[in-house]
Structure 1
Amino acid sequence: MSINTDGSVKQPGSLAAAGGLIRDWTGRCVDAFVENLGICTITRAEIKAAIRGLQMAWRKGYRKVHIQMDSTTAVNILSSQNQTEHRYLNLVQQFKGLVQQDWEVKISHTYRECNKAADFLANKGHGVSIGYHDFRIDDPGLSFWILYDTLSIAQSRLI
């Protein structure tokens, strides 16, 4: 199973949201979530999305998952072994606690252009009440972005 997650902050110091989805080995979406986080940083939103994605996968009984995130900062923070002092230490510890359960978890970076469905969900999180919400996987907007990601439509990328 793969978990794609993303965080969203409209502008610094404003409301943040998180979103994510679980895909089966064919790329089909089997579960999705959105969460309105209140005011926080984009990095906190990205990490929170990864935690929520893992919690959802564990609850659904998936025991081999691959988290894909488009934030290299969040991936580096969550992958680092040196976590003695960090501004996101409590969230990192929560993430590490989930990873240490009886399952196989891999985390990696993906380009933003390949993470459009998770981006769509994170942005939807701005329009819901504070907290976690399951999201309908048959939503037409989500279906479009899942197909877009699955087909790996090529885009130019400025480097």
Structure 2
Amino acid sequence: MLPFTNIFRFQRTLQNPVRILIRNWHRDPIPVAWEKPRIGWTKLNFDGSCKGREGKASIGGVFRNHKAEFVLGYAESIGRTSSTIAEVAALRRGLELVVENGWNNVWLEGDAKSLVEIIVKGRQVKCAEMRRHVGDINLILPELGNCIVTHVYREGNRAADKMAQIGHQLKKPKIWWHIPPEDVLSIVHEDAEGVGFLLFFKQDGCFIHCPGIFLAG
């Protein structure tokens, strides 16, 4: 049972829900959809997952070509660590696969905005393990012919997120070639068709996706 203080707090936030909804959703909705890479490019969407603050973590990623076809996917359980380390470990593993397969024109995309800024802007990090991962990433990036690093909201990173969730169930690292896991297949098809989501901005800085979907032009 919730303490009385919490009950009263919930009552205050839930009063006049329609009025709150109209007041907070004052900005235009943001359309979010997965985007195909250009011809000759390979796109990696990566993600990390962590259960709890320093809980069981896993990583995952999906490579697709300019036709939005699934090329390769990976997932792995990485033990107990933070969500930030899981995100950077997912990117590092993806880059290792890029090098192994000799891909040069690569688009890297994840939903961890802080990590993308660390890589793109060269921001310093205090955590020793984080510095090690970032250092390895910075050694790999110059080896690529062309590389783009971007942030996308979670709704545009669903395939990688699902791969990371699958990683929790694995006892050893796994790679899929050409045919993704069943749980990822439907997402890959929706992304290829341009299915997207509308995100509405709220005053508290959060986003809520609209139950409706749209087809990206």
Normalising by structure 2, we get a TM-score of 0.68
Q: Counterpart of 1:146?
A: 188
Match runs of 1:124-135 below 5 Å: 124-129=166-171, 132-135=173-176
After superposition, give the CA deviation of every residue in 1:64-116 in whole Å (9 maximum; x if it has no partner): 10001011011112223243x53111111010011021422211101111111
Indicate how the Cα distance of structure 1 residues 3 and 102 shifts in structure 2: closer, same or farther if over 3 A, else same.
closer
1:149 Cα offset (Å):
2.2
Tell me the distance in 2 between the aligned counterparts of 1:39 and 1:125: 13
Q: How does 1:65-84 map to 2 (within 5 A)?
A: 65-83=106-124
Aligned to 1:33: 74
Structure 1 residue 143: Cα displacement: 1.0
Q: Which amino acid aligns with 1:94?
A: D
- Tell me the C-alpha RMSD between the 2 structures: 1.6
Structure 1 counterpart of 2:64, from 15, 19, 23 = 23
Secondary structure at the aligned position of 1:155 is classed as strand
1:46-125 alignment to 2 at 5 Å?
46-83=87-124, 86-87=126-127, 88-125=130-167
Cα distance in 2 for residues equivalent to 1:9 and 1:141? 19
Residues 50-70 of structure 1 show CA distances to partners (whole Å, capped at 9, x for unaligned) of 111111111112111000101
Measured against aligned partners, the alpha-carbon deviations of 1:125-157 in whole angstroms (never above 9, x if no partner) come to 00011x532135342221111112223323232
Runs of 4+ that moved beyond 4 A = none
| Gaps in structure 2 of 5+ consecutive residues | 1-41, 202-217
> Would you say the 8 A contact 2:117–2:123 is kept in 1?
no
Higher RCO, 1 vs 2 (CA within 8 Å, ≥6 residues apart): 1
2:83 is equivalent to residue 42 of structure 1: yes
Distance 2:126 2:118 in 1: 9
Equivalenced residue count is 157
- Mapped to 2, the partners of 1:8 and 1:151 lie a distance apart of 26
